[in-house]
Structure 1
Amino acid sequence: METPNYLPKYLFVYGTLRQNPPGQIHPFLQSCSRYIGPATLPGRLYAIADYPGAVIPAVLDQSIIHGELYQLSEHQTDLLAILDEYEECTANFPLPHEYQRCQVTVELKPTQPTLAWIYLYNLPVDGLTIITGGDYQQFLTKHSSKP
């Protein structure tokens, strides 16, 4: 995770904030940002409950998280405050928070690193299922077709 001296103008989403299938808050995200395209991030994706959690382990392997990159509007502070509430990482929720908003570098294309906000899973992952392939949408498709 990087700590630049400016705020990212982008948001990387990998789970219920993605456009397909659209989660309950995606229409709001879409109204306050501009979809840039698919992006990736080195890390692991875990199945938490009916949503995923992204983790960037201390020792990176070849695991990749697939998601979408959005350019935030000039009202990014308002959007991020609402998303912080949605992700339950504000003072209104007990510590430790399940998610933490962080700044990371994602790959928009193999040669185009972009600094973006992300909500990283902030609790232990022991006993959680790794989402093989790092794509929550594929995971949902695969698991919804099981009898």
Structure 2
Amino acid sequence: MTDYLFLYGTLRKRYDLKLKDKVKKGWKYVGQAKIGAALYDIGKYPGAVKDRSGKEVIGDVFQVHDPANVFRVLDAYEGNEFVRKKGKVRMRKGGELNAWIYWYEPDPAGKAPIRHKDYLNYLKNKSIH
């Protein structure tokens, strides 16, 4: 069975993070997708919380070839605030996949909601203002 991983924050394809060098041989970029979630600014990274009200979060999907290494590295990076669970992602090019998603676990009350669906666009606009 193939493992897929949906990433919406600092692990995205266009975000420069040295940690990704440790897993680059263990995954392959598949394309953009979205999930039903609300996005929050946690500080140096975002947190997605499941949301059924129609809010969406855009991210990148990777096919994971070496799940033991990739998830060991990423689970440690995500820490205790996030839990990795499988969920449905809607691919931009059409269709759905069942992918691993890192959900933000603490109550996001008091955290700034990110109204942009895309964390990378949010960062660009944030640096302009």
TM-score category, normalised to shorter length? over 0.9
Structure with more of its chain in helix, by fraction:
2
Q: Quick one: percent identity of the two aligned structures?
A: 30
User: Number of residue pairs matched?
Assistant: 129
How much has 1:31 moved relative to structure 2? Answer: 2.4
Q: Name 1:12's counterpart in structure 2.
A: 6
Indicate which of 107, 119, 125 corresponds to 2:108. 125
2:125 equivalent to 1:142:
yes
What are structure 2's unaligned runs of at least 5 residues?
A: none
8 Å CA contact 1:131–1:139 kept in 2: the answer is yes
Name the TM-score, length of structure 2 as normaliser.
Answer: 0.92
Q: Any conservation in 1 of the 2:39–2:57 contact (CA below 8 Å)?
A: yes
Report the TM-score, using the length of structure 1 for normalisation.
Answer: 0.82
Q: Distance in 2 between matches of 1:12 and 1:54?
A: 11
Structure 1 position 55 matched with structure 2 position 49: yes
The one-letter code matched in structure 2 to 1:42 is G
1:140 maps to amino acid: L
Moved over 6 A (4+): none
Q: Which has the larger strand fraction?
A: 2
| Counterpart AA for 1:117 | W
Matches within 5 A, 1:68-107: 68-73=60-65, 75-88=66-79, 97-107=80-90
Distance 2:119 2:92 in 1: 19
Q: How far apart in 2 are the matches of 1:8 and 1:47?
A: 31
Tell me the residue number matched to 1:23: 17
